[in-house]
Amino acid sequence: MDEESGHYTDMLHPFAEEGLWWLPENEKEQISGILRYDPVEGLRLRLMGSFCGHGIDKEERRSLILGFLARGKPVTLYNSVFVGGCLSIPGYATCEYLPSCAFFGAHFDPEKVKFGTVYERIHNVEECIGYKALVEEWDIDDKKGAYGYKVYFRKPEEVAFPIPLADFRIAWTFTTTGSTPHAKGISTAAWFRFAISQPSPYLEVLQGPVSLIHTLVELAADCRLPILVAELYSPVLLDESPEGEPREVPVSLVWDQQLKSSTPRAKNSWELMFTLESVKTRLGDILRRWERFRARHNSTFETYFLLLRTQHEMPWQHQFLSLVYALESYHRRKSAQGKHRQSFRDRMKEVFLAMPQCVRQLIAGEEVFAAQVADTRNYYAHQDEKLKSVALKDWQLYLAIVKLQAVLRGVRLSELGFADEEIAVILDRLRYPHQIHNLSLHL
């Protein structure tokens, strides 16, 4: 897409939208400007003028900036921070702002409007669901030298159930392009739909029901999954349908997701710990377990997901310490109050001994590994020179990282209700036994 002229499509593609911009209290003073978005850099508004007349804006923050795009779409910019400007004499002032988020589709105050329905589409979602809605069939006749090819849409079974504060279901769209059979494109897209029990502000909706499902899917994928599109509907933001009936206006929300790359790698379903299709008969139970796990072990969860987002940029020592901190945090919240006085080595040993048998086999000696982890953690965290000779380094350290990753995956799968046999199959599919075996041979 041409960044200079492209319109908003999703949050993995940059865009630049021209329009007129003004403050809610001064609609007559409209200023020309360009709203830009980049998946890595976020939102930036550049005005060819100033809200303060001929000078530079004196306000550090503008709660609301309203706009009307050249293509005829209203926009609300929320919580925009003034980051600089320029005043030329002769000439005119230019001002730049960094909005925290943009709402395409309506003018309103995000602090006052509540939303009742949300549609969310995330990166790689079809593989995470594990269902192929488009089916391809070949009909080959070797004797006649002829063949046929057919593609059809297979309607999925409905996935819908209540979750805390909302009703959740998976919705599918089917799209065709092209005007002739020889040049026709067919695509499907899966969406997560949330019908909110009690309409709520956008941030409560995103951090509540939407986050519950989204983080579970990220957990299954074992990677960061950016949101592509988030559409919100409010009973107070209405327009007219072609039939003259009132209908809720779709409001597209765009914000900085702090992505490291604009094109994250898409995984195949076999690379995931599980898909929603593979656990559809017990998905409700898994979600209830996940909700309890998040509430009790939030710091463990946040530490692990921070590692997922940055592990390729982190030295092995930092990866090791992050994994150890996540396990230590998990043990402290899992154990009885009196056990908080245990030594770090004993806590790690207790975590390893509680693992499914398949994980313990990968560790190959819980007591020895607990001692190695404790000594290495104390050396890198406290720079204890007495432990320098016994601390793990180089490829031994990397082997420990792989084992700790397997332990954390075992913890999460066990907490979600997966049986030991299922965990063994998942870890084998993710090639943990293979990795650990190969690393051990070369040490």
- Give me the average pLDDT of each 10-residue run along the chain (443 residues): 57 93 93 94 92 78 95 95 81 88 96 96 90 75 65 77 90 74 70 95 94 90 89 92 87 88 76 90 90 79 64 80 86 68 84 89 89 91 84 91 91 92 93 90 77
Residue 408 has what DSSP assignment? H
Longest dimension (CA), the chain: 82
pLDDT for res 339: 56
pLDDT for res 337: 53
N- to C-terminal Cα separation, the chain: 48
CB 199 within 8 Å of CB 239: no
pLDDT for res 63: 95
pLDDT for res 1: 30
pLDDT for res 311: 64
Residue 427 has what DSSP assignment? H
pLDDT for res 189: 85
pLDDT for res 78: 97
pLDDT for res 175: 76
* Cα dihedral 411/412/415/417 (nearest 10): -110
Residues in CB range of 263: below 8 A, 6 or more apart: 12
Rounded to 5°, angle at Cα 394 from 388 and 395: 130
Residues in CB range of 397: below 8 A, 6 or more apart: 316, 317, 320, 376
CA-based nearest residue to 327, from 304, 308, 310: 304
pTM of the model: 0.85
The partner residues of 183 in beta bridges, in order of sequence, read none
H helices present in 124-182, as ranges: 125-129
Handedness of CA 360, 334, 271, 403 (dihedral sign): negative
CA-based nearest residue to 14, from 24, 22, 6: 6
Residue 249 has what DSSP assignment? P
Q: Where are the domains of the chain?
A: 15-104, 115-271, 297-441
pLDDT for res 144: 60
pLDDT for res 4: 43
pLDDT for res 280: 87
User: CA 275, CA 306: separation in Å to the nearest integer?
Assistant: 22
